[in-house]
Structure 1
């Protein structure tokens, strides 16, 4: 594998050939990266959130021996739209959109900080060092941003399953969660979230680098088209989802309204994974 550095958090249009000029100050480049990453992430969330909503509903369905409400993706989508309208698929989307820029800030900030410590004299990273930077950045964003954000998202979606949903708005829901469950509740499922986010970044980077290296066939002068990079990115995302879905199921269960039924991440895994290891994937 090539030692050439590739930033897994950078959008294709934010490269030397795109928006960021090579002689700009590092601080300005980082700011632009965070802003662009946050806006792109927010747009991505808005477009893909219905699938995230359905996935979470399926992961919460049939828990603790209760009767399942949905028979799959299509059934869940149809029932949600029928009972709540199309916007019902966007319940809780504001939480992820609000967190998109802070998440990008932590991700870019951590990645570039670690990079500055381990890069060579030319500012380049080896493949192993790049994977390590991605892993650490994933862990940092999981601890500082993603876990509280995911807890609120899951609680909102879980609340929407009730006959009489209680959360009236984002601020009302957050205040209610804090009042009833305490501030510590925003870090439920931390271990599973850290494992998921850290391994996600490491796997996606590894697949991206391997795919581009195979395309170049060892010749670093060969330009990899953006379309090819996009296809490799889709493959990387699919692999990370399939591999990490058991952890994602545990994370969702640990962050729902009935999380008190589990002692910890291991207990949740042992109780629920045997029958529902890949809920929400197919």
Structure 2
């Protein structure tokens, strides 16, 4: 799952950057960065969503009494119980949260690199070490920023992905119904449940993503 998700995300982002760039323009403004990143997130989410759903069900399955024997078994059971559309359950909240998440992550990274790369490089000794530190730091901060602003949508996505799983009755009648049921029964704080753990994961994860992408892009493209 990770390989196609990241490959498509960064690839589409570069493609849309080229589309929104005006003739003679050297640097994209923030609105252009947001648009290109959001469109990248939209296309990536639609293409890879079935893999995301299977990952969520494999992770949360035991809590719902599901006994999956692996990726293929999970896919087969999902198809038998819910049909082809079962693989796209929760796609709407994923688009509403996932596309802006990628848009914010990508645009914030470019913005932070422009603003803070030089100070971070100077503070960490400059050279290759300084550039690495700048990319890791800016990537981590952009990941946390995007995660925080879009996390409620991610909570709704996960709940809808497991709704009706293993033949259980469906609880939610769509994205907004899931939102209002969550808020009315558990309060707004429930929308941010698990945020801290996700941020701890996002700090190294987002930083390494951008560092790896920039490094390999430089090696392969120049």
Q: Structure 1 residue 38: deviation in Å? A: 1.0
Partner of 1:82: 80
Match of 1:204 in 2: 209
The answer as to whether partners of 1:49 and 1:93 remain within 8 angstroms in 2 is yes
Partner of 2:95: 97
- CA distance in 1 between partners of 2:98 and 2:57 (Å): 22
Q: Residue 133 of structure 1 aligns with which residue?
A: 138
Q: Which has the higher helix share?
A: 2
Change (3 A) 1:108 1:160: same
Q: How does 1:144-155 map to 2 (within 5 A)?
A: 144-145=149-150, 147-155=151-159
Give 5+ residue unaligned stretches, structure 1: 1-7, 217-222, 225-282
Q: Cα distance, 1:67 vs. partner?
A: 4.9
Is the Cα–Cα contact under 8 Å of residues 35 and 101 in structure 1 kept in the other structure? no
1:212 shift after superposition: 4.3
Kept after mapping to 1: 8 A contact 2:98/2:154: no
Q: 1:31 to 1:25 in 2, by over 3 A?
A: farther
Scaled by the length of structure 1, the TM-score of the pair is 0.63
Other-structure match for 1:179: 184
Instruction: After superposition, give the CA deviation of every residue in 1:227-265 in whole Å (9 maximum; x if it has no partner).
Output: xxxxxxxxxxxxxxxxxxxxxxxxxxxxxxxxxxxxxxx
Does the 8 Å CA contact 2:105/2:146 hold for their aligned counterparts?
Answer: yes
Query: Contact 2:20–2:36 (CA<8 Å) still a contact in 1?
Result: no
Give TM-score scaled by structure 2 length: 0.78
| 1:30 alignment counterpart | 30
Do 1:34 and 1:101's aligned partners in 2 also have CA atoms closer than 8 Å?
Answer: no
Work out whether residues 94 and 157 of structure 2, in 8 Å CA contact, stay in contact via their aligned partners in 1. Answer: yes
Hey, what does 2:148 align to over in structure 1?
A: 143
C-alpha separation in 2, matches of 1:58 and 1:142? 22
Map residues 244-255 of structure 1 onto 2, 5 A cutoff.
none
Count matched residues.
Answer: 202
Residue pair 2:40, 2:99 contacting (<8 A) in 1 also? no
Report if aligned partners of 1:39, 1:100 keep a CA contact under 8 Å in 2. Answer: no
Distance of 2:118 and 2:184 partners within structure 1 = 49
